[in-house]
Chain A
């Protein structure tokens, strides 16, 4: 070693190298967090009295009551499940042409622009907001929920499908095109085999999401188990609410497990 004085070593900063920027950004973040926390107004008395209710909810979760509201629960479940299946099927069927139209390597520019606009619209609007509008138009009940979930499925599936199609191996498409295939034949032979496993996987994934969402949109009147849950919580029937939540969790677990096995089998 050439230096005689001890060399100090400090770890170089990980993210922001410039010292002034680092202080400004971290300082700003800390100030914001403090301001944000200060702006929460908490009624501690209300929270304190709420703790007892919270405890009752925990107990309800541990000792759920499936029986006393079973007819409501089962009706909500049937609505949720049928909504999920129909909206996923319809959503997937509509997403496929839109997804193909939104893939730059297959669609001409005007079609591409229109399809991308549909996708952007569907993705920007929350499911809940769409549900509010559809309930206002179509009346309360699962039909509005079905429309909501179908619409949301389009934004999700068409976007991912379009990205998949844009990512496919261009050489395979070229090879099919070189045989003199028409556009339809091109999609059927050059594109479909490459994206089909992903499409099935994404549809199953969306099925799972649609079920979870179907439990929510009932809160604004679009049918399904969410409406039952809303009623149970409004009446402070935490043991029924716990039962509903456990059913939702169980169905999601089964759906996740099932879809992962199917995806493995498809690929």
Chain B
């Protein structure tokens, strides 16, 4: 259970990125966070594990308030929060296996990580996860030798290696082609379902968000302007989040008269567009 109360972030430049955002995510729920660029999506996600230091407000996981933790307590809290990044953010010059094992850094002392002697169960888990994301044979390749989709799979494995209780996902599909995007989203969703893992997915693609998440949050200029089921995201809601735009055109493209089939159909359309 994640509870965010009155979260506010004002940058040094005076920009108000978040204004009094309150929301709670029950365990097992996958939430899509949408909004225009600069609405504060990225800041919100980073305030949860304090990669960005919030100005005021509280972020509670269980009973503890993450915003009040000391540095070592924060490290312990961070290892329970897995994060998947835009453009993968793998350490390019390390091997795939080292990247996955870096998910254990919060659990092992420095000498173990420095000598790359991780406990056997961590190594077993890493191998199992690589197998799970379909990269069993790539353990000793360098991360920069992989394709975009493969790199994001490594990013997912790294986050899961942490044994997280919450997944933060920042634009996971931003630099992937449409087909790979859907595969990655599906993989993230499957894994969340398998583990009953709650997730907050920051995503700019409204269609993907509607297809894959159970609940959608809409952020505009640092304020929460929509919170509801994917079906409730109608034109009025979209206009509230993004401003005036011809939504029917976008809907037509996504084929919203047939919600059951639209993902496949849209995929075909997009693939045709690619070819």
Contact = CB atoms under 8 A, between A and B. Distances in A.
A238 to B, nearest CB: 42
A243 to B, nearest CB: 42
B128 A9 contact: no
Interface string B116-142: 101010011011100100000001100
* Chain A: interface size category: under 10
Contact of A12 (B95, B124, B128, B131): B95
Given A1-B128, A6-B123, A7-B124, 11 more contacts: A6-B120, A6-B124, A7-B123, A8-B120, A8-B123, A9-B97, A9-B123, A9-B126, A9-B127, A11-B97, A11-B116
B98 interface: yes
A1 B131 contact: yes
Nearest to A3: B127
A9 B123 CA distance: 7
Interface string B75-117: 0000000000000000000010110000000000000000010
7 contacts: A1-B128, A7-B124, A9-B118, A9-B123, A9-B127, A11-B98, A12-B95
Nearest to B124: A6
* Chain B: interface size category: 10 to 19
A235 interface: no
The 7 A-B pairs at the shortest CB distance, nearest first, are namely: A11-B116, A9-B123, A12-B140, A1-B128, A6-B120, A7-B127, A1-B131
Interface string A206-226: 000000000000000000000
Contacts of B140: 12
Residue among A8, A9, A11 with the highest chain B CB neighbour number at 10 A: A9
A19 interface: no
A12 B95 CA distance: 8
A10 interface: yes
A179 B98 CA distance: 58
Contacts of B126: 9
A11 B131 contact: no
Contacts of B127: 1, 7, 9
Q: What's the dominant secondary structure at chain A's contact region?
A: loop
Nearest to B115: A11
A9 B131 contact: no
A7 B121 CA distance: 10
A9 B126 CA distance: 10
A10 B118 CA distance: 10
Interface of A: 1, 6-12
Interface in B120-168: 120, 123-124, 126-128, 131, 139-140
Nearest to B121: A6
A10 B131 contact: no
Interface string B171-190: 00000000000000000000
Contacts of A1: 124, 127-128, 131
A11 B95 contact: yes
Nearest to A7: B127
Contacts of A12: 95, 140
A10 B126 CA distance: 13
B115 to A, nearest CB: 9
A12 B127 CA distance: 16
Contacts of B131: 1
Nearest to B98: A11
B164 to A, nearest CB: 21
A12 B139 CA distance: 10
A159 to B, nearest CB: 32
A8 B124 CA distance: 8
Contacts of B139: 9
Contacts of B118: 9
A29 to B, nearest CB: 21
A1 B131 CA distance: 7
Contacts of A11: 95, 97-98, 116
A11 B123 CA distance: 12
A254 to B, nearest CB: 31
A27 B134 CA distance: 40
A7 to B, nearest CB: 5
A86 to B, nearest CB: 48
Nearest to B131: A1
B96 to A, nearest CB: 11
A12 B128 CA distance: 19
B209 to A, nearest CB: 33
A160 to B, nearest CB: 30
Contacts of B116: 10-11
Contacts of A9: 97, 118, 123, 126-127, 139
B98 to A, nearest CB: 6
A112 to B, nearest CB: 39
Contacts of B123: 6-9
